[in-house]
């Protein structure tokens, strides 16, 4: 409800439908403003790739310190772009407009020191603005990237969540209602991309580096194994990484482009086959991709083609929504706030948080 200002003019109110999201679980400092869980009013992502590249991977302490330096500028930018001031209220003094009514932040899984920065910042804003704080599971957040961009998505959907730390097949009936159908028994798909890229000297982050190198290579030149294909809905990628290392050890003259293309083809084959198996054996009406690896071009093309052949609806979030961002956290926060209410202010970071059971 609008209050009365000193001069009797109606003050704009805060609206719980307008959520500020904060994401600092790994190496992106991200802040976004999302309305109604769907409409992105701003989404700022400050990548730390430049800081970590020379080490070949994310250095936790550097990540935490960089989040601390970048979080306030990122938040200011997100607020301005959404037409809001530093109090999260509409910039224009007159006219209609509503302010931020809740603050959501990733509470896990992720790097402890990195998570603490975002959680502390979000709680401080929630206290200062007197609005609810909502803690979001980062993995659950990734699922909302699809819903955020395509409200018309047909549920239940089978979502393949493929990120740097996780590879999970989830049946999603609706916000908050999930069933895990399969997951990796060892390395995540993104982790395999990162490790193989590092081994080949292609740089960090590994996924985009492999995808680039693979464009110059022949995907059928090396027959790498397709681990656990035809063996249920769980995944395994650590043996595939070992197969790459062994092959290159025996054939030192092989081109990195051929190895990258053949490795990528093996990962894509396994991911697509299991995603389609999961969709075929569940009640799913559509299929979605989520997580950083979902930005991979050959994976997107293969999923789209397989779903078209199987007559399944498919939704592929834009690449920037696949990789870490805060819009998905704000969107998840909106749904969670409606279903479960605010998160207690003494909630901590949960670096090893698991995917939430439905
Ligand atoms: O979801 P995300 O941004 O962060 C985590 O929650 O982990 O995923 C990062 C992962 C990294 O392993 C990165 O190499 C991979 O996603 N990735 C890709 C591509 N872009 C990012 N993997 C394959 N192809 C890509 N184009
Ligand atoms: Zn992620």
Could you say which ligand is closest to the alpha carbon of residue 215? 1
Please report the pLDDT score of residue 11 as a whole number: 62
**Nearest ligand, measured from the Cα of 237:** 1
What is the location of CATH 3.30.420.40 in the chain?
6-144+323-340, 155-284
Residue 30 φ then ψ, to 5°: -130, 140
Residue closest via CA to ligand 1's atom 21 equals: 292
Dihedrals φ, ψ of 31, to 5°?
-140, 140
What is the 53 CA–ligand 1 centroid distance (Å)? 14
Residue 349: closest CA among 124, 36, 105? 105
Cβ < 6 Å from ligand 1: which residues? 26, 163-165, 190, 193-194, 205-208, 211, 291-293, 295-296, 323-324
Residue 304 has what pLDDT? Answer: 96
Fold entry, domain 6-144+323-340? Nucleotidyltransferase; domain 5 (3.30.420)
Closest CA to ligand 1's atom 11? 164
CA of 109 to the centre of ligand 2 (A): 9
Phi, psi of 97 (to 5 degrees): 150, 145
Rounded to the nearest angstrom, the distance between the alpha carbon of 58 and the centre of ligand 1 is: 13
Q: What is the pTM of this model?
A: 0.94
Nearest ligand 1 atom, CA 190: 12
CATH homologous superfamily for the domain 155-284: ATPase, nucleotide binding domain (3.30.420.40)
| Nearest atom, ligand 1, residue 205 CA | 14
Give dist(CA 204, CA 206) in Å, integer. Answer: 5
Q: What is the mean pLDDT of each run of 10 residues along the chain (358 residues)?
A: 50 89 97 96 94 89 96 97 95 76 98 98 98 97 90 91 95 92 96 96 94 98 95 96 97 97 98 96 92 97 96 93 97 95 97 86
Tell me how far apart the alpha carbons of residues 358 and 346 are, in angstroms, rounded to a whole number: 24
Contacts of 221 (CB under 8 A, 6+ apart): 258, 261, 262
Ion ligand 2: residues, CB < 5 A: 163, 324
Ligand (nearest to CA of 167) = 1
């Amino acid at each position: 409800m609008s209050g009365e200002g000193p001069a009797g003019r109606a003050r704009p109110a805060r609206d719980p439908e307008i959520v500020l999201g904060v994401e600092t679980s790994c190496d992106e400092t991200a802040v976004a403003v999302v309305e109604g869980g769907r409409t992105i009013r701003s989404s700022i992502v400050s990548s730390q790739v430049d800081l970590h590249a020379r080490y070949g991977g994310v250095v936790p302490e550097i990540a935490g310190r960089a989040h601390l330096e970048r979080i306030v500028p990122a938040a200011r930018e997100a607020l301005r772009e959404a037409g809001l001031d530093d109090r999260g209220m509409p910039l224009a003094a007159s006219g209609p407009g509503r302010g931020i009514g809740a603050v959501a932040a990733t509470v896990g899984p992720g790097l402890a020191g990195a998570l603490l920065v975002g959680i502390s910042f979000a709680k401080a804003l929630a206290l200062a603005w007197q609005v609810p704080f909502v803690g979001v599971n980062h993995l659950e957040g990734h699922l909302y990237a699809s819903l955020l961009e395509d409200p018309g998505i047909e549920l239940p959907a089978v979502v393949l969540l493929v990120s740097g730390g996780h590879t999970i097949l989830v049946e999603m009936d609706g916000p908050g209602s999930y069933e895990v159908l399969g997951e990796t028994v060892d390395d995540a798909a993104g982790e395999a991309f990162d490790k193989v890229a590092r081994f080949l000297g292609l740089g960090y982050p590994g996924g985009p580096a492999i995808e680039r190198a693979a464009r110059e290579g022949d995907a059928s030149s090396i027959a790498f194994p397709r681990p656990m294909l035809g063996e249920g809905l769980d995944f395994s990628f650590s043996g595939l990484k070992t197969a790459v290392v062994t092959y290159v050890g025996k054939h030192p003259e092989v081109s990195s482009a051929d190895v990258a293309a053949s490795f990528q083809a093996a990962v894509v084959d396994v991911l697509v086959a299991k995603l389609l198996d999961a969709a075929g054996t569940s009640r799913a009406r559509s299929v979605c991709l989520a997580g950083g690896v979902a930005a991979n071009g050959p994976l997107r093309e293969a999923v789209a083609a397989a779903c078209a052949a199987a007559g399944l609806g498919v939704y592929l979030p834009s690449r920037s929504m696949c990789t870490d961002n805060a819009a998905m956290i704000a969107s998840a926060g909106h749904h969670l706030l409606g279903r479960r209410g605010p998160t207690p202010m003494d909630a901590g970071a949960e670096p090893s948080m698991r995917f939430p059971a439905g």
